[in-house]
Structure 1
């Protein structure tokens, strides 16, 4: 029987060699060179994480909380290094979705009665 964790660890290593991963890494490195854009990006990530934690703990967040996240998002949408990073994230995400479909196929087959 195959050790699925060995396969997963190998897949993680293989992921690092893909063009999508390399493009994402390069875009993130370029973002970090722009101090203003990187600081804004970090603020957005921090606020997003705070709201997610509140939601996971069953807490309601206020309209002001949501508005501040939206305001940060609006500021980020016109910054080229952030736009580039988001585009590369989307490309990698598409590949990850495809991989998830492949990995999940045996489970799907069970429910199809195959």
Structure 2
């Protein structure tokens, strides 16, 4: 019999050894302790979550809201360390989403979809 937990631990180890995770950790270390960078990233994430919540509630984002988030990202991207962090975070998120999709497809579980 297969021990699913053993495989989950193996997957966790593989994720920790992945390029995406190691890049994320390295980028996170570069901004760690830089209060202004940490605050800007926190504000950006907060804004992203607010807009995602709005979409999940079935509300359509206005062009102004979309452009506002793009402008905020553009400003943040001027700082190389912040840009590298956000890019590494996105790549790691993609990897984790892909793994989740593979697992959910294998057990025939549908993922909730944003409208």
- Note the residue ranges of structure 1 that are not aligned, 5 or more in a row: 108-114
Q: CA deviation at 1:58?
A: 0.7
Q: What's 2:4 paired with?
A: 4
Q: TM-score, normalization: structure 2? A: 0.67
Distance 1:52 1:90 in 2: 15
8 A Cα contact 1:16 1:22, kept in partner: yes
Distance 1:59 1:97 in 2: 24
Distance 1:36 1:99 in 2: 33
- Aligned residue pairs, count: 107
Q: What's 2:67 paired with?
A: 67
Q: CA deviation at 1:103?
A: 6.6
- Whose Rg is larger? 1
- Distance 1:96-1:50 versus aligned 2 partners, 3 A rule: closer
Distance 1:47 1:103 in 2: 30
Q: TM-score, normalization: structure 1? A: 0.67
User: Superposition RMSD on alpha carbons, in Å?
Assistant: 3.2
- Note the residue ranges of structure 2 that are not aligned, 5 or more in a row: 108-115
Q: Secondary structure at the match of 1:33?
A: coil
Query: Normalized per residue, which structure has more helix?
Result: 1
Greater mean alpha carbon deviation, residues 1-10 or residues 49-58:
1-10
What pairs with 1:9-88 in structure 2 (closer than 5 Å)?
9-88=9-88
